[in-house]
Amino acid sequence: MIAEINEIVANIASAMEEQSTSTREVSSNVNQAAQGIQEANVNVAQSSTGSASIAKDILEVNQAAQEMSEGSTQVNTSAQELAKLSESLKQMVAQFNI
């Protein structure tokens, strides 16, 4: 009877040791998964910061393009006015015969 009890106790102890080992492995895997998620969160945050920086750069390029467009329009208007003045000056000079 005592031998049977000792065998049962030994089997229970062995099963508990196996369960303890399994629990440590599961805990380790969960910890590794948590670290992986944390690293992914850091990467997402970095990507978000990079995207915000790119969006800011695009906005600045867009503003510079708008300013260049406005400048080009002003140059074009000035060139047209100069062309009109040049034509007027040609007509005035043409009136003088030497």
DSSP characters over 19-45 = HHHHHHHHHHHHHHHHHHHHHHHHHHH
* Predicted pLDDT at 13: 87
Token pair, residue 7, equals 């065998």
Rounded (to 5) percent helix, strand, coil in the chain: 95, 0, 5
pLDDT digits (tens, 9 = 90+) for 45-81: 989 988 989 999 999 999 999 999 999 999 999 999 9
Predicted confidence band of residue 3 (pLDDT cuts 50, 70, 90): confident
Q: Where are the domains positioned within the chain?
A: 1-73
Predicted confidence band of residue 2 (pLDDT cuts 50, 70, 90): confident
Residue 97 has pLDDT above 80, yes or no: no
CA distances from 24 to 3, 33, 34, 97 (A): 31, 14, 15, 110
Q: What is the pTM of this model?
A: 0.53
Cβ neighbourhood burial of 62 (10 Å; 0-12, 13-18, 19+): exposed
* Predicted pLDDT at 26: 93
